[in-house]
Amino acid sequence: MSYDPDNIFAKILRDEIPSTRVYEDDDTLAFMDIMPRADGHLLVIPKTPCRNVLDASPEQLATVMATVQKMARAVMAAFDAPGVTIQQFNEAAGGQEVFHLHFHILPRHEDVRLRP
Ligand code: 5GP
C-alpha cells in the first residue's frame, strides 16, 4: 500500500491542523492523542513519510523507537505511573486508522483500565 501525503498526521507535521506537541527533534514528533485512552496518552511519529511498520526502513524504526523509549520514560515519570503500554497497529485489518507510522504511549496504573 502506498503513502498518502494528505493523512492527518502528515497535516499535523506540516502544521496544517493543530496539535499539542510535547517533544520534537530533527526526525520525530510526539504529540497528545486527540481522544486519549489514558491520561498522558501520546503518539510518536517519524517526520519522514512512512505508512506503518510494514513500510518502514530499519533506520526509520530505529529512529522512532529511540523517541518511543524516551517518551515512555517521560510519561511514566510525569504521571507517576509504574507501567506503560506501547501500542502500534498496521493496516485497517490490524486496527490502523491513520496511515502514517505511529506508536501509542499510554502510562498505566494498576487496576486502571484504558478508556475505549
Ligand atoms: P490508530 O491508527 O493507531 O488506530 O489510531 C489513530 C489515533 O490517532 C487514535 O488514537 C486517534 O484518537 C488519533 N487521532 C486521530 N485524529 C487525530 C487528530 O487530528 N489529532 C490527534 N492529536 N490525534 C488524532
What CA–CA distance (Å, rounded) separates 61 from 23? Answer: 18
Give the CATH number of the domain where residue 31 resides: 3.30.428.10
Cell of 62: 530505529
**Range 79-101 average pLDDT:** 98
Express each pLDDT in 40-61 by its tens digit.
999 999 999 999 999 999 999 9
User: At a CB cut-off of 8 Å and minimum separation 6, what does 47 contact?
Assistant: 13, 26, 27, 28, 29
Instruction: Classify residue 115: in a domain, yes or no.
Output: no
Instruction: Classify residue 114: in a domain, yes or no.
Output: no
**Range 14-30 average pLDDT:** 98
Give residue 75's domain range: 8-108
| Residue 80 confidence (pLDDT) | 97
Instruction: Classify residue 31: in a domain, yes or no.
Output: yes
Q: 20, 43 in Cβ contact below 8 A? A: no
Number of domains comprising the chain: 1
Place 14 in a pLDDT band, splitting at 50, 70 and 90: very high
Instruction: Classify residue 22: in a domain, yes or no.
Output: yes
What is the Å distance from ligand 1's center to 98 Cα?
Answer: 6
Instruction: Classify residue 116: in a domain, yes or no.
Output: no
Examine the predicted complex and report whether its ipTM is higher than 0.90. yes
Instruction: Classify residue 3: in a domain, yes or no.
Output: no
Cell of 26: 530533527
CA 17 to chain centre: 17
Spell out which residues line ligand 1, taking CB within 6 angstroms.
Answer: 8, 17, 19, 31-35, 89, 95-98, 102
Is residue 102 annotated as a catalytic residue, yes or no? yes
Q: 61, 90 in Cβ contact below 8 A? A: no
Instruction: Classify residue 1: in a domain, yes or no.
Output: no
